[in-house]
Amino acid sequence: MTQALAQAEAAEAMDEVPVGAVLVSADGVLLAAGHNRTVSNSDPCAHAEIEVLRAAGKALGNYRLLGTTLYVTLEPCAMCAMALVHARVKRVVYAAADPKTGACGSVFDVLSDPRHNHKVEVQGGLCGEEAGSRLSAYFKAKRRTG
C-alpha cells in the first residue's frame, strides 16, 4: 500500500484526484503501478485501477490477471469493480472507503454479487486514515480555490 500511496501523491502533484494503485502477482512481483489520469487524459475511465489493469494486461499479454492483488488508496467504484471481475483479479485491498461511490461494500457491493462468474476477495481499511486524509485535504483545497 505504501507504493499505492506514493502513486496517489504523484496524482495530486498533477492536480488529479489523489488515488494510486499497484498490482502485484501471486508471488509479490510488482506488475504495474499508476494513478488517476482522468484530467490529464481527458478520459473519465482513466481511474488508477483501470490504468494499472491496462498496463499489467499489456505487460503480460493477457487481460486475465489471475492470482493478482490490487492495492488501491480508495475503494473502487462500480466501473473499476467490474473491471476487476473481468480481469479475474484475485484480491483487492483498499485504503479509504468511499461513502459516495464505493462499490466494494460502502454504497454498493458489486464484488460479492453471487451472479458473477468470478469472485474477488476484498479487504478495506489498510492505511485508510492516511489515504482518507489526503483525499479530504485535496477536496477541501479545491473548494477553497474553485
Q: Which of 16, 49, 51, 75 is catalytic?
A: 49
* 9 catalytically annotated: no
C-beta neighbour count of 75 within 10 angstroms:
29
CB of 22 closer than 8 Å to CB of 4: yes
SS3 28: coil
CB of 103 closer than 8 Å to CB of 109: yes
Catalytic residues: 49
